Amino acid sequence: MQQMKATAEIMSETSIKPASVWDYANPTRFLGLVERVLPAFVMLTIVCMAIGLWMALNAPEDYQQGATVQIMFIHVPAAWLAMMVYTVMSISALGTLVWRHPLADVSLRAAAPLGAAFTFLALVTGSLWGKPMWGTWWVWDARLTSVLVLFIIYLGLIALSKAIEEPSVAARALAIVTLVGFINIPIIKFSVDWWNTLHQPASVSRFDRPAMDVAFLYPLLVMAIAYTLLFFTLHLMGMRNEIFRRRIRSMKMQSARQAEGG
């Protein structure tokens, strides 16, 4: 409670109903939205995660994979998020380059570390799933390689965001590199269809009927929703942090000016 009051002191109140993303182009307005919406997001994330974990840990054993199928419940959502976050970043990149939304760059920068973390989890849990399943920690098949490439792209973008000082140049650079790298996403998605190597093909989004039993499908979907909620919660918090960072920077520059000019 005290936290919310303290933050509200920093920002002015808002009370207008949202009509479009442009209503929140003003960082202050956006922060007001975050304050209102965040508690609900946190609650939903925790509840969903709890339900998902309970369902996952109580799922039956797969006749082929045994108990290791339980790794699927944290591997597949992480992998889905790794790609979804990059898509969010790509939309943000378009927001910077095409529509020039002031918060698009904030969104991109806040999402990058989260995406990198999910990709890392996808790689690690995938490796831990692969060893008992296929007998090897790593293999250079199409999907694993392209997910590793995605990880490198995330790290490169984070490095770039710290390297360029001038904010507008940095925003443009990040947006362009993000969009150029987007070509990797369809490669990841379709790599298991194009190259029939080791990783198993898609079994959830087949449009006829999912090739997965509901005993596994439901926990998987709940965990996927939980991971998605987790991302959006952390993303909103991250955007808030980024807005604060810019404010501190401009306040410090302002105070330096005041000290000089009086």
- Output the smallest distance, CB 43 to another protein, in A: 14
Where does this chain bind another protein (CB under 8 A)?
6-7, 9-10, 12, 57, 66-68, 70-71, 74-75, 78, 97, 113-114, 117, 120-121, 124-125, 128-129, 131-132, 145, 149-150, 152-153, 155-156, 159-160, 163-164, 166, 168-169, 172-173, 176-177, 179-181, 183-184, 230, 234, 237-238, 240-241, 244-245, 247-248, 250-252, 254-255, 258
Rounded to an integer, what distance in angstroms lies between the CA atom of residue 156 and that of residue 161?
Answer: 9
Angle between the N-to-C axes of helices 142-163 and 104-134, in degrees from 0 to 180, rounded to the nearest 10: 150
Measured from the CB atom, the residue of 6 and 19 that comes closer to another protein is 6
Closest Cα to residue 174, out of 237, 89, 82? 89
- Output the smallest distance, CB 218 to another protein, in A: 19
Measured from the CB atom, the residue of 206 and 251 that comes closer to another protein is 251
- Output the smallest distance, CB 42 to another protein, in A: 10
The answer to whether 103 and 20 are in contact (CB under 8 A) is no
CA quadruple 240, 243, 249, 255: dihedral sign = negative
Run of H or E residues at 140: none
Measured from the CB atom, the residue of 141 and 210 that comes closer to another protein is 141
Closest Cα to residue 228, out of 59, 69, 114? 114
- Output the smallest distance, CB 77 to another protein, in A: 9
Rounded to an integer, what distance in angstroms lies between the CA atom of residue 22 and that of residue 100?
Answer: 10
Measured from the CB atom, the residue of 66 and 206 that comes closer to another protein is 66
